[in-house]
A and B are shown apart, each in its own frame.
Chain A
Amino acid sequence: MEQLKVNLCGIELDNPVIPASGTFGYGYEFAELYDINCLGTFSFKGTTKDPRFGNPTPRIAECTAGMINAVGLQNPGVEKVISHELPLLKKCFHKPVMANVSGFSVEDYAYTCEKLDKEEQVGWLEVNVSCPNVHGGGMSFGTSPEAAAEVTRAVKAVTTKPVIIKLSPNVTDIVSIAKACEEAGADGISLINTMLGMRIDLNRRRPVIANTMGGFSGSAIFPVAVRMVYQVASAVKIPVVGMGGVSSAEDVIEMMMAGATAVEVGAANLVNPYICRDIVSDLPRVMEKYRINNLKEIIGGVQLWGKM
């Protein structure tokens, strides 16, 4: 359907719906459930230079309208992703995929991105400078404009494909970080990663999560995500991918009105494995309800009260 198409950094998506990294594996588990080619694309599991087991368990906590995870970037490492995961992914997904990358040093990011950039299935590199669950890496690169810009420059220097920097909401001023990435050459910004959270088990008087804290996601964070997408999209010229608590076609449209060109769906996949397929098929109905002819027209289309 032409009305659902959007253009993300020069690549056309059939629709703006993108399962978020860490909630969709490398795609093939979900391909057993439905034809995942109905998606715009998806962002695969965060990949690092070396294999990682991640954090000790328990890694998951239930929250009101959401969850906390502290997985800690478990992944088989970039070599194995290229040799084992991508060939499996290729069998079930025939569109460009978003490669999500994390690291523990600027060199790590550049190394992993350079490798994945050469893979023909990879359409975009989504560079995660916002993982709250690893020490000495991840989020620490996304909490200062200088560090985020440094990672952006290093990745851009060794890649040819569009680079989208994934930002953390756990900062004082997300706009300054987004602008620093844009100036450093980023082709897009995605946000928000999870919010740092914590739960305590009253019986045991211990954190529910073995790592004490973790990333809070799910519908509870949606308003925060809409606000930050709005702030960033209003301040940068490059495309913004919005995410955070999205779980319906209405949420996708709200994110787009706030300024998102495409929209990622995260935690909701873990509760309803069919949610992204269902959102895609529900979009035309919701567009009709709100008299939207073409999704491209509503990107950043929110009209503020004072300016109506």
Chain B
Amino acid sequence: MKQSIFTIIENTPLTRDVMRMVLEGDTSAITASGQFVNIQLEGQFLRRPISVCDYDDQALTIIYKVVGKGTAQMQAMVPGEQLDILTGLGNGYDLSCAGDHPLLIGGGVGVPPMYNLAKKLVKMGEKVSVILGFNTKSEIFYEEEFKALGCDVTVTTVDGSHGVKGFVTNALPDTYSHFYTCGPEPMLKAVYKATTTSGQMSFEERMGCGFGACMGCSCKTLTGYKRICKEGPVMRKEEIAWNN
């Protein structure tokens, strides 16, 4: 974990209420796809945890949905403004069990962490399939970006306005070596039931600190109590206990 100041170099809308922000600064604490950052905002007491969509040596990209006061404040920020950010939080996805044909499933604002993961898996030479789930056509983002990485991309919309009609689980391929997913909990549950291989799922919870100090985001797993922010947010399918 590292605390440092980042400078906004881009803050643009992708859809009506989903924004992409690119921040320049020290990204050295980020070690894996699927980790998150915790952002301090003027006038807000707690930081806002947001997953990392992509990163390199100089900058990181986040994609966030405007849902409350904190994210509305972020939406109003312009390039040149600075943010105090804790980086390198959480465990992130384990690439070593991907196999040669991994399946990535993102739902809504669960799509962003799949991007850097896909990039890395493609670079490793794997054949990457991606399913992106949205409610309706106007909410879709990053379809082209995933295609540009060379992934086999399927988009699903609940209302059928674009791609496959239905949920991400209506578009599962017949074969894949391992799955990675992030999205709302009902989607994670459906993916858990419908998938046939081992996999990794990223969870969300209201957090206090984001770095393991407050025990605000604990959950029960089959391998013991875990902090979503520290031992998570990524859990293995085999260890998940849904009835907590």
Q: Which residues of A contact B215 (CB under 8 A)?
A: 22, 45, 54, 59, 71, 74
In this complex, the interface size class of chain B, counting residues with CB under 8 Å from chain A, is 20 to 34
Contact mask for chain A residues 14-38; partner B; CB cutoff 8 A; 1 contact, 0 none: 0000000011110001101100000
In this complex, the interface size class of chain A, counting residues with CB under 8 Å from chain B, is 35 or more
Select from chain A the residue with minimum beta-carbon distance to B69.
A62
Q: Which of A25, A33, A74, A267 contacts B1 (CB 8 A)?
A: A33
- Whether the pair A59, B213 counts as a contact (CB closer than 8 A) is no
Q: Which of A2-10, A115-123, A226-234, A269-277 contacts B (4 or more CB under 8 A)?
A: A269-277
- Residues A25 and B218 in contact in the complex (CB < 8 Å), given A58-B205, A67-B45, A67-B208: no
Q: What's the nearest-Cβ distance from chain A to residue B172, in Å? A: 29
A41-88 residues with Cβ-Cβ distance < 8 A to B are 45, 53-54, 56-67, 69, 71, 74
Q: Which of A32, A45, A271, A273 contacts B46 (CB 8 A)?
A: A271
Q: What's the nearest-Cβ distance from chain B to residue A170, in Å? A: 20
B212-239 residues with Cβ-Cβ distance < 8 A to A are 212-220, 225
Q: Which of B46, B86, B211 contacts A67 (CB 8 A)?
A: B46
- Please indicate which of the listed interface residues B40, B214, B219 has the most CB atoms of chain A within 10 Å of its own CB: B214
Q: Which residues of B contact A273 (CB under 8 A)?
A: 1, 3, 86, 209, 211, 213
Whether B207 sits at the interface, judged by CB under 8 Å, is: yes
- Please indicate which of the listed interface residues B47, B207, B215, B220 has the most CB atoms of chain A within 10 Å of its own CB: B215
- Please indicate which of the listed interface residues A58, A59, A74, A272 has the most CB atoms of chain B within 10 Å of its own CB: A59
Complex: how many Å from CA A30 to CA B230? 13
Whether B123 sits at the interface, judged by CB under 8 Å, is: no
Q: Which residues of A contact B147 (CB under 8 A)?
A: none
Select from chain A the residue with minimum beta-carbon distance to B44.
A62
- Whether the pair A60, B217 counts as a contact (CB closer than 8 A) is yes
Closest 8 CB pairs of A and B: A270-B209, A60-B216, A58-B206, A74-B215, A60-B206, A60-B208, A71-B215, A59-B216
Q: Which residues of B contact A (CB under 8 A)?
A: 1, 3, 40, 44-47, 70, 86, 205-209, 211-220, 225, 244
